[in-house]
Copies of this chain bind each other. A is one copy, B any other.
Amino acid sequence: MVHPLFSPEVKLMLDEKNAAGLREFCESLHPATVAEALDDEFTPEQIWEVISNANIRTQASVFEYLTPAQQVLMAEKARPQMGALLTKMSHDDRVDLLRRLPGRVTETIMRLVDEADRKDIATLFQYGENTVGALMTTDYAWLPGTLTAAEAIDQLRQQAPDRETIYYIYVLDDPTRRGDGSLSPRRLLGVVSLRDIILAPRHALIRELMETDLVTLKHSDDQEMVAQLFARYDFLAAPVVDDQFGLLGIVTHDDVLDVVRAEATEDMQRQGAVGPITGDYLEASFANVWYNRMKWLAVLFLLQMFTINAMASFESELERVFFLLAFIPLCLSVGGNAGSQAATLVIRAVALDQVHTRDWLRVFRREMLMAASLAAALGVLSIARTYFLTPDNIERKVPSGYFWNLNLAVTFAVMGICLTGAIIGAMLPLLIKALGRDPALMSAPLIATLSDVLGIVIFFNIAKLFFWRMLVVPPA
């Protein structure tokens, strides 16, 4: 994948007004490559000047590959040209563009497209974000089932230029008239692949070739479901139908790949306690990033306040065994770490549809066993560490004969906190899921915060056990 950098060459052609060269540049390269060459150094006007040399279909393709920010700027600059361009754009991409434009620009542009396109845009516009409806496109290829394979290929030759894909062809019924006189969407009877049409005898009927065991989507389905469906069935596209099995549109593999990447980004951000920030990290608006970080930092800060109350409730112990306090950050961190691990595994397993809320008891048992054996190993580490590596000045403060009490208190605290952290980390995401929210909301920092509060209580209670005389029996 080695591509020379075309930008300087394009600039030169612009300066020289070399129309033939610019046309060749636009039409001979992949539109993604052309779009990439027209980077930030080009003004919207210059980009219009470059692509105007190509045919309108190429213009639309290149336009689709520009960054969303570039598209918006360009749409605002050259409104008359936008009408023709919109007609040739993918039906899903043009709706995405119009969603991003200011209302008045959208209105002006909508007046430039013809009735059919305007209707199509309005239909796609109505679906909610992150739903299948917002992802689907209406420029699918379709045929009646009564054609022969040879006739079908002739038909497809007509349709191909304006279709997102002609590799899956949807076989549709005649439209029926609704009670109010309007036509309902044509019902989906089956799907046939271009591969099967090519393989079939010329006179085979499409309705005999088509697959009728269909996997379909609803426009209200969540994006995440689509990803699982495509991963399981290796589809190129999947049909979206209404309750009467009327075909509303199709979702194609390239959009699914984008969804999978976007959903993974969102889940990772949630787990890192950042409200979802879409778009490029270096380009994202400062205020937006600030808000989406601050809201989580504030929530965590307020929750973390309970650690002060937990500490304060052991105030008399604090005063008497301050040498123990040097071990608090270590002990608390174990809970955060074990919790972060468990939460990560469970949250991802839920996202990949491997674990459901009904599995909670299996998850609980598995995590109990896992956390117990992790805690045991950490306990061994802790005994060794406290024995060999306790700083001298701390050791000197431990009352004589109490060194092993210190060691065991720290070790049991580490083990107890590890167990607590892992169980919280594994269970809370499932609880959130059961409440109908995204389990990724249970971020690693949130788990760590909750486990800190519990950790302090565990720490001091274990310390009381091992320093009974000093902490519980009142001084004489």
Does B160 lie within 8 Å of A198, measured CB to CB?
Answer: yes
Bound Cα distance A432, B198 (Å): 51
Specify which of B198, B334, B389, B456 is in contact with A166 (CB 8 Å cutoff): B198
Does B394 lie within 8 Å of A308, measured CB to CB?
Answer: yes
Instruction: Tell me if A157 counts as interface (CB < 8 A to partner B).
Output: yes
Does A345 lie within 8 Å of B269, measured CB to CB?
Answer: yes
Instruction: Tell me if A390 counts as interface (CB < 8 A to partner B).
Output: yes
Does B257 lie within 8 Å of A391, measured CB to CB?
Answer: no
Specify which of B254, B265, B381, B448 is in contact with A336 (CB 8 Å cutoff): B448
Specify which of B36, B216, B271, B305 is in contact with A385 (CB 8 Å cutoff): B305
Specify which of B300, B340, B363 is in contact with A444 (CB 8 Å cutoff): B340
Does A301 lie within 8 Å of B334, measured CB to CB?
Answer: yes
Each complex incorporates copies of this chain amounting to 2
Contact A318/B307 with A1-B216, A198-B157, A456-B329 known, Cβ cut-off 8 Å: no
Contact A236/B233 with A153-B198, A391-B309 known, Cβ cut-off 8 Å: no
Task: Kindly list chain B residues whose C-beta atoms are within 8 Å of the C-beta of A220.
Answer: none
Bound Cα distance A258, B227 (Å): 10
10 further interface pairs, Cβ-Cβ under 8 Å (given A281-B346, A301-B414, A311-B328): A160-B199, A166-B198, A230-B257, A231-B258, A260-B264, A265-B352, A271-B272, A273-B340, A318-B323, A337-B445
A residues neighboring B (CB under 8 Å): 1, 3, 28-30, 32-33, 36, 65, 153, 156-157, 160-161, 166-167, 194-195, 198-199, 211, 213, 215-217, 225, 227, 229-234, 236, 253-254, 256-258, 260-261, 264-265, 267-269, 271-274, 277, 280-282, 286, 289-290, 293-294, 296-298, 300-302, 304-305, 307-309, 311-313, 315, 318-319, 322-323, 325-330, 332-334, 336-338, 340-341, 343-349, 352, 354-355, 359, 362-363, 366, 369-370, 373-374, 377-378, 381-382, 385, 389-391, 393-394, 397, 414, 418, 443-445, 448-449, 452, 456
